[in-house]
Amino acid sequence: MDMAVFCGSQARPVPERKERCPVLVESAFKLRYNPALDGLRGIAIVLVLLSHAHAPMFDGAFFGVDLFFVLSGFLITSLLLMEYQQHGKLDYWRFYRRRFFRLMPALALFLGVYCVVAPFLWPDLTDIYSDALVSILYLADYGIAFFDSPDTLLHMWSLSVEEHFYLVWPPLLVLLLRKATPGRVWAPLLALWVLSTLWRIFWVMQDQKFYEIFFRFDTRASGLLAGALLAALTLEKPKWIESLQSLRAYTMWFVLAVPLIMELEWDNQHAMVWGITVVECAALVVLLSVQKPMGLVYEMLTAPLFIKLGQLSYGIYLWHYPVVRYLRADYSWPVTVVLGLLISTALSALSFYTVERWAMRYRDAGSRPARQPQPRKEPALREATRGS
């Protein structure tokens, strides 16, 4: 397939064209910073913490993970589509290298500290090191679903789901781009989202246990694919998506439905059949509504507290589960929530401003594109630009 422009419904071959979509792009393979997306991450991590703290009326707060999935699928696919648009291919090594340095250092630090501290906090545990090994190999999703491992690091499943997506999605996306009609890659992505949802429902109909469906990559990939679909729609802009945006007053009902399904308890198969889909649709509506920096939803999500929590959300997610698990054994849920959030945020900040910052500097330094040869300047011009 020839290189095509993803802005607009009528994509056409443009081998040498330089312009890119102005909605999301600030520079090559970088998205313009949108603080509302960090705000959405902040809300998602609070929901997850409420769920693990066993807060009343928040049994279904595990849906917060689905917000992370949709957002991850959206951001990753947006970057991949723009790279393919510019070069007609993807640099797989660059992609996997950047993912490794963004995710692994913080995870390794957390698991290292866990292996040292956990024997003192829970001296009766015998699976500390095996749980850490399964976690760092990103096998927790299928490990929990079928082998009950890891147990003490139960929250590692979602990181495994995302990692499996990162491994298989770039080559699969390239295949779809080469086979799909230019400007209509959203169509097979829509089909994949629907099929993924039906696949999850199929296993419910087969009477598979709730946790065996909940934790697996193949039954939880729908959120990541929903985000990927939105990325393609945002860049390709088919005419019907504009009509959908004009119906925002109606589609916002999906968002209002989310608090109502928070009462879906663990082991309730309705969460697998339709609850996850409602949350995914709500996440898509919210992401669409915050593409422009205006409106009530944007203002709510850009509250400074939500933004800061969102910026530290990866680290908070890593650290919160052992912290909450320790606190909830002796304290009420309000104390567990407040202390758990404070302690997890502090540990996340410590990790972010040390190990993660170093890793990201190393990542960015090693993945800068080679400099293009510059035309020879006149002596006066070279002097004027020296040191700039």
pLDDT digits 0-9 by tens, 195-241: 999 999 999 999 999 999 999 999 999 999 999 999 999 998 888 77
| Domain-wise residue ranges, the chain | 34-294+306-365
- Whether 116 shows a pLDDT value over 90: the answer reads yes
pLDDT in tens, 309-332: 999 999 999 999 999 999 999 999
CA-to-CA separations, 48 to 61, 287, 317, in angstroms, rounded: 6, 19, 8
Q: What is the pLDDT of residue 17?
A: 38
Contact between 42 and 306 (Cβ < 8 Å): yes
Interior angle at CA 306, CA 305 and CA 308, nearest 5: 65
Confidence grade of residue 249 (pLDDT, cut at 50, 70, 90): low
Contact between 121 and 18 (Cβ < 8 Å): no
- Give the other-Cβ count within 10 Å of 343's Cβ: 17
Which of the residue ranges 24-33, 82-91, 103-112, 316-325 would you say has the lowest mean pLDDT? 24-33
Higher pLDDT: 70 or 33? It is 70
- Exposed e or buried b per residue across 75-101, where buried means at least 16 C-beta atoms within 10 angstroms of its C-beta: bbbbbbbbbbbeebebeeeebeebbeb
Contact between 283 and 66 (Cβ < 8 Å): yes
Calculate mean pLDDT across residues 72-80: 96
pLDDT in tens, 37-61: 999 999 999 999 999 999 998 888 9
pTM here? 0.85
